[in-house]
Amino acid sequence: MAAILEMRGITKTFPGVRALSDVSFSVEAGEIHALVGENGAGKSTLMKVLSGVYPHGSYEGEIVFEGEERRFSGINDSEAVGIIIIHQELALVPLLSIAENVFLGNERARGGIIDWGATYAGTKALLETVGLSESPDTLVEDLGVGKQQLVEIAKALSKRVKLLILDEPTASLNERDSDALLELLLRFKAQGITSILISHKLNEIAKVADSITVLRDGTAVETLDCRGGPVSEDRIIKGMVGREMADRYPPRESRIGDLLLEVEGWSADHPLHTDRRVVKGITLNVRRGEIVGIAGLMGAGRTEFAMSLFGRSWGRNVTGKVRLAGREIDVSTVGRAVENGLAYVTEDRKTYGLVLERDIATNVTLAHLSGVAKGGIIDDMRELAVATDYRSRLRIRSAGVHQDTVTLSGGNQQKVVLAKWLFADPQVLILDEPTRGIDVGAKYEIYALMNRLAEEGRGLLVISSEMPELLGMCDRIYVMNEGSLVAEFPVAEASQEKIMNAIVRAGRR
């Protein structure tokens, strides 16, 4: 088969650093080509070069698309020839309808006046293609993340796409929605649309990719062909990190102690639709030194439970009892919850975790300023020492503790959020999707840190949508569905099938 795209000898430098060096990357027509690599390996930079975000002249090398050399000076040029990129952060306007979003910037209009008939008809056809049955005038904000992703794809299709680039499309999707999306990619392939898939989820790549290119430190290390036979995840990881990863989860000897956290009959209603109970009478416990997981599908109410527990940060009519080491504690505000030994590490570090335009030091001390202050006055040097200590202990890669967190990679940002809560010295940590969107190497470090915290006698409650992660890390797993706990397994008895079964059976009841 012929190559639809060839990028030859691409070198892109930023002041002081070479982000891509002499990368050659070729995609065959009609295939699904996966692009993998750790954060910072240069995947996004390469795609920005391809889509014209970095215009011709700002990089070295050449791009040949459909047999012609292309010199894009902006994203409009690349879209004009059929290269469409769907970014990780969705670019939809929440308060506009699906139809308005699909044709945004590309309106079905004559002389500036929108033809609503054509707009709706066109949208309907596109939605059918991606498998959505929603009405075109539904507001985007009323859709779940999974469906929003499909709207993005419908939008791409409206532009006569030849090469579709998806940057981490399933990062915030649950398994069912992810599978639907991957099915869709396979259908596109049958229709002759070529796709480039950037993902950290190696199992998904194994499912759909025809070939895999591995980037590491700004160079293309290798391209693996999957058509001859499946490529193992370990093989891909080896390419990404440059060494064999013997074990994805660091070993731990559980030393489980007394009851630490007990939650009894915890309930919460939706903050806007107060007639909707989202968390329904959760009763659970965590012991000292224990890592307890909460499995469930997206929308099961896990984050809502955790946030309502942590200082009523979510929901209305929050009720229930919390005991810490046998004593009932007040968690009615975040301040009190922290004082009483709780910490909640958010799933959304950019929105809820970090003050992005402040430096590492400021973020690390934010939840426990009294630890570096006396009588309300901050001791700069003490703060510096604390931040420096956590930076080296958690191996946060940065130019120093005064680097703004917005410039850090995802894994390092996550470590800053963790450092913030470690400095507050909690007894119980609730970790919500602690490894979302971060690369394999950083994941391992975070797992090792979790083990260390458990060994120190703290209790960890881990919410994760990646079942292998829960199975690999936890001592005990609760399963949550539609706001209730529907099952509990010691890890020795748990498996992905059992967890899925519990969810499905609960759903049928």
Partner 1 sequence: MDTGLVKEDAGTRRMPALSAVRTHFGDYGMLLALLVIMAFFQIMTDGTLLRPLNVTNLVLQNSYIVIMALGMLLVIVSGHIDLSVGSVVGFVGGLAAVLIVQYGWHFVPTIAVCLVVGGIIGAIQGYWVAYLRVPSFIVTLAGMLVFKGLQLALLGGRSVGPFPIEFQRISSGFIADPIGNPGFNLPAIFFGIAAVVAIGWFGLRHRANQNRHGVAPAPFGLFAFKSGLLALLVLGFCYLLATYRGLPNVFLLMITLVAVYAFITNRTTIGRRIYALGGNEKAAKLSGVRTEFLTFLTFANMGVLAALAGLIVAARLNTATPRAGLGFELDVIAACFIGGASASGGFGKVTGAVIGALIMGVMNNGMSILGIGIDYQQVIKGLVLLAAVSVDVYYRRK
- Provide the residue type at 404 as one letter: D
- For position 113 contacting partner 1 by CB under 8 A, the verdict is no
Contacting residue, 73, 135, 274, 333, with partner 1 by CB under 8 A:
333
Q: Output Rg (C-alpha) for the chain, integer angstroms.
A: 24
The nearest distance, CB 354 to partner 1, in angstroms, is 6
Contacting residue, 119, 412, 427, 465, with partner 1 by CB under 8 A:
412
Residue nearer to partner 1 on the CB measure, 265 or 400: 400
- Residue 104, Cβ neighbours under 10 Å: how many? 14
CA-nearest of 443, 419, 291 to 366 is 419
CA-nearest of 154, 147, 152 to 167 is 152
Contacting residue, 230, 335, 468, 507, with partner 1 by CB under 8 A:
335
Contacting residue, 221, 241, 334, 500, with partner 1 by CB under 8 A:
334
- What CA–CA distance (Å, rounded) separates 204 from 171? 11
Residue nearer to partner 1 on the CB measure, 30 or 441: 441
Q: 416 near 449, Cβ under 8 Å?
A: no
- Contact set for partner 1, span 413-442 (CB under 8 A): 420
| E strand or H helix that includes residue 314 | none
Q: How many residues bind partner 1 (CB under 8 A)?
A: 55
- Contact set for partner 1, span 147-206 (CB under 8 A): none
Contacting residue, 126, 324, 408, 502, with partner 1 by CB under 8 A:
408
Instruction: Collect all residues with Cβ–Cβ distance below 8 Å to 203 and sequence separation of at least 6.
Output: 233
- For position 380 contacting partner 1 by CB under 8 A, the verdict is yes
b/e 246-257 (16+ beta carbons within 10 angstroms → b): eeebeebeeebe
Residue nearer to partner 1 on the CB measure, 407 or 496: 407
Residue nearer to partner 1 on the CB measure, 100 or 167: 167
Residue 322, SS3? strand
Instruction: Collect all residues with Cβ–Cβ distance below 8 Å to 151 and sequence separation of at least 6.
Output: 92, 98, 101, 102, 127, 130, 132, 140, 143
The nearest distance, CB 369 to partner 1, in angstroms, is 4
The nearest distance, CB 309 to partner 1, in angstroms, is 12
- Contact set for partner 1, span 47-76 (CB under 8 A): none
Q: What angle do CA 345, 351, 354 make, to 5 degrees?
A: 60
The nearest distance, CB 251 to partner 1, in angstroms, is 29
Choose one: 149-157, 297-305, 405-413, 462-470; the region binding partner 1 (CB under 8 A): 405-413
- Contact set for partner 1, span 287-326 (CB under 8 A): 310-311, 313
Instruction: Collect all residues with Cβ–Cβ distance below 8 Å to 9 and sequence separation of at least 6.
Output: 22, 23, 24, 60, 61, 62
Question: Hunting for tokens 């998904």 — which residue is that?
Answer: 204
Residue nearer to partner 1 on the CB measure, 235 or 270: 270
Q: How far is CA 361 from the centre of its chain?
A: 24
Choose one: 67-75, 174-182, 330-338, 479-487; the region binding partner 1 (CB under 8 A): 330-338
- Contact set for partner 1, span 217-276 (CB under 8 A): 218
The nearest distance, CB 366 to partner 1, in angstroms, is 5
- What CA–CA distance (Å, rounded) separates 398 from 382? 20
Residue nearer to partner 1 on the CB measure, 101 or 303: 303
**Strand ranges across the sheet with 428-432:** 342-345, 428-432, 459-463, 291-295, 476-481, 484-490
Site string for partner 1, 342-371 (x = CB under 8 A): --x-x----xxxxxxxx---x---xx-xx-
The nearest distance, CB 37 to partner 1, in angstroms, is 10
The nearest distance, CB 229 to partner 1, in angstroms, is 32
Choose one: 116-124, 157-165, 226-234, 399-407; the region binding partner 1 (CB under 8 A): 399-407
Contacting residue, 399, 492, 497, 508, with partner 1 by CB under 8 A:
399
What Cα–Cα distance (Å) separates residue 179 from each residue in 150, 155, 185, 187, 309? 12, 20, 10, 12, 32
Residue nearer to partner 1 on the CB measure, 245 or 369: 369
Q: What is the DSSP string of 178-201?
A: HHHHHHHHHHHHHTT-EEEEE-S-
Query: What residue ranges bind partner 1 (CB under 8 A)?
Result: 14-17, 19, 39-45, 218, 310-311, 313, 333-335, 337-338, 344, 346, 351-358, 362, 366-367, 369-370, 373, 376-378, 380-381, 384-385, 397-400, 403, 407-410, 412, 420
